[in-house]
Amino acid sequence: MIGIIALVVGVLVGLWLDPTVPEWVQPYLPIAVVAALDAVLGGLRARLDGIFDGKVFVVSFVSNVVIAALIVLLGDELGVGAQLSTAVVVVLGIRIFANAAAIRRHLFGA
């Protein structure tokens, strides 16, 4: 619950403050957002499954973001940044869909 409230507050604050993104973060921000969304949906699913653990959530969130950013960084260094970004987004997208499906089954029973 706290997470959702914080999320909404974050969106509002972001819209209100309109912070500037540092140059070096710019390529990684979209990927990091997708990775974090995956972690949040995973956490929501775990909570509905009744196996939510704050520590696991925090660790998975941070590691998701860091790993996604690292993969993109590595891709950029190797010259395949665009393709690796696509790969990361595809994989995370699939996971988001899977988590969303699980959540849907919990909420609607179908």
Partner 1 sequence: MPRIKLATVLIAVLCLALGLAIATQVRRTNSGDSLADQRPQDLVVLLDGLQQREAALRKEIAEAEAALTRLRASGDTSAAALAEARRRADALAVLAGTAAAAGPGLEIEVTDPQGGVAPSDLLDAVQELRAAGAEAVQVGDVRIGVDSAFTGSTGEIVLDGVRLAAPLTVLAIGDPPTMAAALNIPGGVVDTVERAGGGVRITQRDRVDITALRTIRTPQYARPAG
Binding site for partner 1 (CB under 8 A): 2-15, 18-19, 21, 26-27, 29-30, 32-33, 36-37, 40, 43, 54-55, 57-58, 61-62, 76, 79, 81-82
Q: Smallest distance from the beta carbon of 104 to partner 1, in angstroms?
A: 21
Closer residue to partner 1 (CB): 3 or 91: 3
44, 103 Cβ separation under 8 angstroms: yes
CA gap 54, 101 in Å, rounded: 22
Helix (H) or strand (E) holding 53: none
Q: Smallest distance from the beta carbon of 107 to partner 1, in angstroms?
A: 20
Q: Please report, for residues 23, 47, 68, the alpha-carbon distance to residue 20 in angstroms, rounded to integers and kept in the order given.
A: 9, 34, 21
Closer residue to partner 1 (CB): 50 or 109: 50
Closer residue to partner 1 (CB): 73 or 102: 73
94, 101 Cβ separation under 8 angstroms: no
Closer residue to partner 1 (CB): 82 or 90: 82
Token representation of residue 8: 């909404």
